[in-house]
Amino acid sequence: MSKLQRSLWGRNVELEIVYDCYDGEEVLPSQEEAFSLIETNWNTLEDALISLTDYLTTHDSDKFDEKITNIFKYIIPRTLFIKRANKDRMVALMCDYRFDPEEGIALLFVNERLSLIGPQSKIL
């Protein structure tokens, strides 16, 4: 497994890179392209912070007494999951989530645009 070290949301993080492949299958060229383009367009992940904080305060409003000023109290980015897809480039940022440690939370980027935020099982 390879890892990527980058700055995200004001902090250096190390993300495991995981490709959605069948046993014994090679990484698809479309998956390599998806990873390359999300890395080139890293600002897309940076900009997702606003949507992520909105999602958290909307879906778990009872858990937040105040405005989120430090996302890392609640979210720890762990993995970039590059999905196998026929048409679109799909990359999910998989994160640990303080209020749902079993499920976590994921941000799905389709063609380098934030498409969906939700539980990891919904994204996978």
Q: Which residue has the tokens 């937040």?
A: 64
Q: Which of 1, 79, 4, 78 is nearest to 36 (CA)?
A: 4
pLDDT tens digits, residue range 51-85?
999 999 998 888 877 788 899 999 999 999 999 88
Is the per-residue pLDDT at 113 higher than 90? yes
Residue 19 is part of which domain span? 2-123
Q: Please answer whether residues 5 and 21 qualify as being in contact, where contact means their C-beta atoms are separated by less than 8 angstroms.
A: no
Q: For residue 93, what pLDDT band results from cuts at 50, 70 and 90?
A: very high
Confidence (pTM): 0.93
Instruction: Determine how β-strand 105-110 pairs with β-strand 113-118.
Output: antiparallel
Total structural domains within the chain: 1
**H or E stretch including 35?**
helix 29-40
Q: For residue 1, what pLDDT band results from cuts at 50, 70 and 90?
A: low
